[in-house]
Structures are given as C-alpha cells and as structure tokens.
Amino acid sequence: MSHNGCNFSYGHYQEILRAILQNGYSCCLFGSEVEDSEPIVYLRHDVDIDLISAKRLSEIEFNNGIKATYFIFLASPFYNPFEREPAEAIKYIASLGHEIGVHYDNSITPSDTTKIAETIYKQADTLQKGLDINIKVVSFHRPSKIILESNLTFQNIENVYQEKYFKQIKYLSDSRQVWQEGCPCQIFKKKLYSRLQILFHPVWWTDEGFRAQICLEKFLTRSSLSLDRSLQGNVSVYKSTAARIHKLVIGETND
C-alpha cells in the first residue's frame, strides 16, 4: 500500500496536510463543535520522545493554517516538561494556536477507572499550573483494554479514546513508522473516510525522512550530547570524565 514519494519527512508531512485541505477536510480540535455533514480530521501528536520534532510539525501546521493537539508526557524518560527548553517548546507550540493535552500512562493505575480519573486530573492540573496552559484533553500511552473498550469520559477533560473519536470514526496511526492502510495522503486523495483521527508520533519525522532505526539513533546521539552538556554545566567533577563518557556513549572523544 506504499506510494511513490511517500515518506516520513517534514516535506511529506506538509503534502499530507495539503491533501487534507485540498480534498475538503477541516482539521478540528477534540471537543470542538462540528457539523454533521462536514468531513473532518483530528490531528493528534503523542509526544512520547521528541519535543524538537513536535515543534517542527507544529510550525508546518501553523503555516498551513491547521490546528492540532500535542499530548505531553509527564512520565516520559526522555524529557521533563518543566525544564527550561522543553517548557519553552510546549509554550511555543501552544502560542501557534495548537491545543496541549496530557499523555497518560495507565499502566501506573491498571483497571481502576476511579483511580485513572483521579490521576489524570492531578497530572492535567500539574501541567496546567506548571506551564500556565489550559489542559482539557487526554490521550493514553499504550492504552490497555479497559481504555479501548470502556468509552471512558471524564469531567472537563476530553478523552481521545472515547467512541466518538475512536470507534465511530476512522483511526490511523504511524506506530512503528508503519501506516497499516497506506500513507494518509493517498487516503485523503481517495476520500476513503469522511471522519478520521490520525496519530503522528513526532520522533518518526525528520528533514531527511529517515527510517525508524535511524530516527532513534539520531535522537539518542542528540540527547546524549545534551545530557553531557548539562553535566558539564552543572557538576564540576564531571569535566574530568567527560571525554571517557563521550567515548562510551557516542564512540568519539572530545579532544
């Protein structure tokens, strides 16, 4: 089902957005009012790993007059949303008119829906107060059966796995950098579905359109260098071991 010219580059992301607009679809935010007959798309980004790529996607959308929702992961091992650079990136994305939501890992609270709701409210509140951004939508990290099958609703927080966003409309995802039904640009050109939710994970998208393994290697190198800079800037005893760590982590020395 792959198509010539389709890849995971920012250039092709822009082509997907153009296919959305040229074929008469509008991009909606979760929870917004929509006309019954209107062809619509909910663009969703679960920022599990890479906020820098999320920023790039948000700019491409902004330049095309499109709004999407970015889900920030408080339990991410890869970024801290309250650290200066990530916090600035999230506020910047919001300043472009995009929605910010909370990406929630329900493996912390398996199966108890009351606990799930409580923890979501706490995390949304933390994000909201910490970044001074309104949070009114949640997506789930690796959603369990109960999330996928219970049509859970929460007060004042829209759940993207509610049936109206997930079962009653078409759901597509770039998980593992694979489009199970082919690239969305073709799906929009053929107008196969009138309503869709599409999940794009920022980490898979690059200028070059690298394949998944390379995307992750590039991310790891960038993150290692950034951690190295942080250690050098914050811990004086680190300087003496920097070269050794460099060698260990990225296979090169600094001197």
Task: Catalog residues that contact Zn ion under the rule CB under 5 A.
Answer: 6, 46, 48, 141, 183, 185
Q: Which is nearer to Zn ion, 48 or 174 (CB)?
A: 48
Smallest gap from residue 139 Cβ to Zn ion (A): 7
Widest distance between CA atoms in the chain: 65
Smallest gap from residue 163 Cβ to Zn ion (A): 20
Give the integer Cα–Cα distance in Å for 187 and 243: 50
Q: Which is nearer to Zn ion, 48 or 61 (CB)?
A: 48
Structure tokens at 127: 């994000």
> Could you tell me if 190 and 1 are in contact, meaning their C-beta atoms sit under 8 angstroms apart?
no
Smallest gap from residue 3 Cβ to Zn ion (A): 5
**What one-letter code names the amino acid at 132?**
D
Q: Which is nearer to Zn ion, 223 or 232 (CB)?
A: 223
By DSSP bridging, strand 137-141 and strand 99-105 are parallel
Smallest gap from residue 2 Cβ to Zn ion (A): 8
Q: Which is nearer to Zn ion, 97 or 182 (CB)?
A: 182
CA distance to 34, 76, 143, per residue, from 110 (Å):
33, 18, 10
Q: Which is nearer to Zn ion, 13 or 89 (CB)?
A: 13
Give the integer Cα–Cα distance in Å for 239 and 11: 40
Give the integer Cα–Cα distance in Å for 227 and 94: 26
DSSP classification of residue 81: T
Q: Which is nearer to Zn ion, 103 or 136 (CB)?
A: 103
Smallest gap from residue 174 Cβ to Zn ion (A): 11
CA distance to 4, 114, 130, 231, per residue, from 197 (Å):
24, 26, 28, 41
> Could you tell me if 157 and 124 are in contact, meaning their C-beta atoms sit under 8 angstroms apart?
yes
Structure tokens at 241: 């071991």
Smallest gap from residue 7 Cβ to Zn ion (A): 8
